[in-house]
Amino acid sequence: MILPKLGPENTRGMVEAFPEAAPRAAGRKPGSATAAPQGAPQFDPHLLLVIVGGRPKTQQPGVFLPTTKERTVGMKIAQVSPLWESVPPKLYGGTERIVSYLTEELVRRGHDVTLFASGDSVTAARLRKVCPEALRLKKGPVNRDAPFVLMMEQVFGAEAAQFDIIHSHVDFMGFPMSRRCQTPVLTTLHGRLDLPEIGPVFDEYLDLPVVSISNAQRAPLPQANWIGTVYHGLPDLYTFHPGPGSYLAFLGRISPEKRPDHAIEVAKRVGMPLRIAAKVDPVDRDYFEAEIERLLEHPLIEYVGEITDAEKCDFLGDAAAVVCPYDWPEPFGIVLIEALACGTPVLAYRRGSIPELIEDGVTGVICDNLSEMVRAVERVPSIDRWRCRQSFETRFAVQRMAEDYLALYERLTAAVPLRPYAPAHARNHHVWTPDARVFVPETDAA
């Protein structure tokens, strides 16, 4: 028996129960007629065993845990942000931007939110300044691990008891501490999960509840304790631009997997201007200088560098299309939904989450290679820009994102906190014994 997880077909965070757990919880093997041990609590075999965030809860079939509509506002919530950028970021910074949007929406709804972030962050929540400024801004020699270690101790140690729920956005960095934390912890995984070093980490922490930002993101780690998929959402910062737009746009980060060279090649082949607004991280500096810098000399190409949020709206909205030739398993492209918010169609490769976010032929064109993307430019005028905007409003608004997370918060906090953490030796297979009130591993001999 493995930990329960939510199937990717359901993005609302419903908790999946498993009826085969009931006989074992009563002291019997599945399919066995052996009676429960003398004195063991009688267990209704029609009850389902639900594990939420590593904490068990019994539940009648068809009865779900309370929803956000069934409770009052005022949860005490900790939002734990990466420290590389401020919240919100001054320029580029996808994860920190989403943390900001979620935090502000939760505050607007009346929740008591504490944001753990860099000291130059700006928020309506209570700001817990972990370091003076975003780590990316620091010059000279600096140990960038130390602030994260300090934050882990603050969040999951000294201050954990004051929160109803801790929502971590630092991927698996908080796993060791969150297992020892009596406050429920939810972790949203924002990055790619297909790298070989990541799998063994999740093999060690199968009891911890995690959220994906797209269904495609889950594929490399089917063993993880997925309890929901929550798409990113944006506040209404972007105005609709009816178009038609006079150039192609590339926004984000210049790196090999983003393939800005393909965006440039598309523009050159169709004879259309391309404007590039992107940052170059130190790790990508060699790639930029060796592969991209010389391509920017073409008369159709304009490199404008990083731009602010205030500049994004016109940059994206005045474009005929946004070109996203990403050649990697993109977990979730925020640029795509920013474009949709402006009414601008998206041209993208069929990679990662792209088919989940873009409706092919409706809000953009999904391509399999460079030649297809070149031909796709001809289809852009036939795409209804208002349909692009409607897709943003119905699927990718911050209100929907907050509702989805609140539903997961409620399900985690509704579970009975019977134990600070599940021991490591019980990480792969778990059963709940109501008499012992501890997690025990299910052995092959059982």
- The C-alpha atoms of residue 128 and residue 121 are separated, in whole angstroms, by 10
Of 137, 89, 168, 111, residue with least CA distance to 334: 89
Is the fold of 1-233+397-446 the same as that of 248-396?
yes
What would the pLDDT profile of 272-304 be if each residue is shown by its tens digit? 999 999 999 889 999 999 999 999 999 999 999
**Domain residue extents for the chain:** 1-233+397-446, 248-396
Q: Spell out the residues 6+ positions from residue 337 whose beta carbon is closer than 8 angstroms to its own.
A: 232, 234, 357, 392, 396
Give the pLDDT score at 310: 86
User: According to CATH, what is the number of the domain 1-233+397-446?
Assistant: 3.40.50.2000
pTM of the model: 0.76
Each residue's pLDDT tens digit, 52-79: 333 333 333 333 333 444 444 689 999 9
In terms of C-beta distances under 8 Å and separation of at least 24 residues, what long-range contacts does 66-74 make, across chains too? Answer: 66/410, 66/414, 67/407, 67/410, 68/403, 68/406, 68/407, 68/409, 68/410, 70/410, 71/410, 73/109, 73/110, 73/111, 74/110, 74/111, 74/112
Which SS3 state, helix, strand or coil, does residue 246 take?
A: coil
Rounded CA-CA distance 227/408 in Å is 8
Scan for tokens 């780690």, then name that residue.
221
The stretches in the chain having pLDDT less than 70 are 1-73, 415-446
Distance, CA of 254 to CA of 258 (rounded, Å): 7
CATH architecture of the domain 248-396 equals 3-Layer(aba) Sandwich (3.40)
